[in-house]
Structure 1
Amino acid sequence: MKKSLLALGVLGAFAGAANAQSSVTLYGILDAGITYVNNESTPGGTTGSKNIKFSNGNQQGNRWGLKGAEDLGGGLKAIFVLENGFRIGDGNLAQGGREFGRQAYVGLSSATAGTLTLGRQYDSVVDFVGPLASGSQWATFSGAHPFDNDNLNNSFRINNSVKYTTANYSGFSASALYGFSNQANTGGGTGFANNRAWSLGAGYANGPLTLGVGYLYLGTPGANNTGAAGNDFGSFATNLNGITATDKAQIVAAGGSYAFGPATVGLVYSHSKYDFVANAGSFKFDNAEINAKYMLTPALQLGAAYTYTWSKATSNGVVLPAGSLSPKYHQVNLGLDYWLSKRTDTYLVGLWQHANNDAGQAQLNGQPFSANKNQFAVTAGVRHKF
């Protein structure tokens, strides 16, 4: 149960400003477990060994946040969200050490006109297609598509962004986002485009059917970053899911799910393209996932998913070794989730990935590379929401 700040003495300063037309809520998620990985390569990458380790933020990233709303009359509300991400294992901040690295925005919301928000926010691919993939539902972050190349597991956010989301029309909604570079045009007229982003998406959710589609464009990510945490002025940080030296990136994704009583079946497809600087080549990924979940009892869920990823890398030798590669990946996710209460659950997830064709090594998302073409991981943990 979420708790109003009015009940928290440590934040009692808010009490004088609160009234029947406004509210501020404290919420959060704590998620931690133990992970076994059968093969993690040594720094040289030639040999591998097993590892049993503490893991956190498996099903959902650890967080605490404040969200509030003030009734302005006429159906209009002022809203805000400040959401901090952290690692429960050592207590350190996540998202590059940002105080509110997960989300930070303020805006206006109307039940009929939609919502306009400004700040650090999620793009439309994350909003509409991400919830349909197994990696962001029950399969842990390592169950995401290889390298989370399509960001369906929400590896990054968009800074300095303005976002509009329509009202819900009988289950249909849409959104548009623009992230500013905050840089003036240089003599060549390119500054305004350095490190900007834009995104479009739409979704439909009504009864047993859920559909989503989204597009994201990132221009020269990291081109005008400053500061220790990076991304102070541009819309996006330098390291793009491990793919550096990127001139621009584009992601398009679509998915859907349908519930049959206690069973839900889903399909997700995404295409990601990373163009390297100086016309040095590109990296393309296509991901196709089929997933299903079944409520064995009202408190016990079984999940299963299969993802096939085919990709192509071309380079003139500036970023990658010259030539062309076509890595392919097969991945199977299996998971059990048991709810002890409405706010607390335990989970057990097993993942297997096989790298095929000329993909040298397997690598489940967020894990070190395997020393061979296969990698297997099992995570057991507990999650609590407040």
Structure 2
Amino acid sequence: MKKSQTEFTWPYPIKWGEEQRVDTDILILGGGIAGCWAAIAAAKNKGVSVTLVEKARTIRSGAGGSGCDHWEHAVTNPSCPLTPEEITHAQIDSNDGYNNGISHYIEAREGYDRLLDLEKMGGKIRDTEDEFKGADFRDEESKFLFAYDYVNRYTIRTWGTTFKPALHQECQRLNVGILDRTMITGLLTESGKPRGRVVGAVGFHVHTGRFVIIRAKATVLCTSRPSRLWLFTPDLAGISEFRPMQACGDGHAISWRIGAEFTMLEKSVRAEWSGARSFPPYGTGNTHNTWYPCNMVDANGREIPWVDRDGNILETFADRCRPAPGQKFFLKGGGETWFQKYEYVGPDIVSTEELVKEGYKLPFYADLSSLPEMERKAIWGLMIGQESKTKIPVKKMYEDA
């Protein structure tokens, strides 16, 4: 190394060769939203020891660690006329059966209750300052703010940046043992045999290299899906779309090696918003989730019309937030699929391909200036400001520029 170069010194002590042994009743692998909830539920059983292992820092780790703008499918909230069974059936049917009906039913049946639990822990879920008083998407009695379908009101806008710290604090209150910065590399099975009962896990501390051995009576896998591995472009190595760098499929790998069975591996979806193509739609605006239902214009400032499921142009902004004539409800957010079943298709612009054929010029942009005031405040101040994908890389970066 040349003397003119600055030598890099690893900032943590090296502990190769050291071991940390942990004995616990229940082991939770993954400290994201799911892992924290699992740990909290387990720790409420008296006399049960719980250990949670997280590769990053639990207080902000996971896809929802830095925030979330929606609480989807809170069907049992008082303002929603739908049933959990209706939403669950729609989720399964809209995916032609390639979906997890069990988890969707739990979400629809219990999701609202968990949201109320989060509020008790310190999460913010209501417009308590009356910032949006009088808005079409607000329920004046509960002060909940709704998204997408303002008629059926089953998706609640939230201040999701408060959620992960609240869950982390609750884990600490319940004396959950938290091993941060620890990567699990393998599951231990009884007698070391594949498909045997899982009796613990092994891994290492990602800063120090210390080996970690955990023995457990029960193990709950709460690791994320492998969401940063799909971009096979050599010059973009390491790009992790808009999900955490830590979400690289560890749970799938360690499960596969002990003989676990997997489902839906034959399922494939269109994924033009993955990898390096993730942030442009979130930075310039789109007609989905966080930005819904904003106005869109083309490169020349020409407004792009919204249409219903039958292709009819929606003349008013309010029409974007209600079902089409004869339609009970539509799916948006986590319920949308590329199958586009007629029964569940909600308001949108026509496909990009069709718009280009009609003379619209790429790229397309959100036009927040022409939105109703409450909608503009909700999209930029609340949705963009609370969603993990946009809080820092979009809202903060734009406002600081």
Give TM class, smaller chain. under 0.3
TM-score, normalising length: structure 2: 0.21
TM-score, normalising length: structure 1: 0.22
Structure showing greater Rg: 2
- The structure that is helix-richer by fraction is 2
- The structure that is strand-richer by fraction is 1
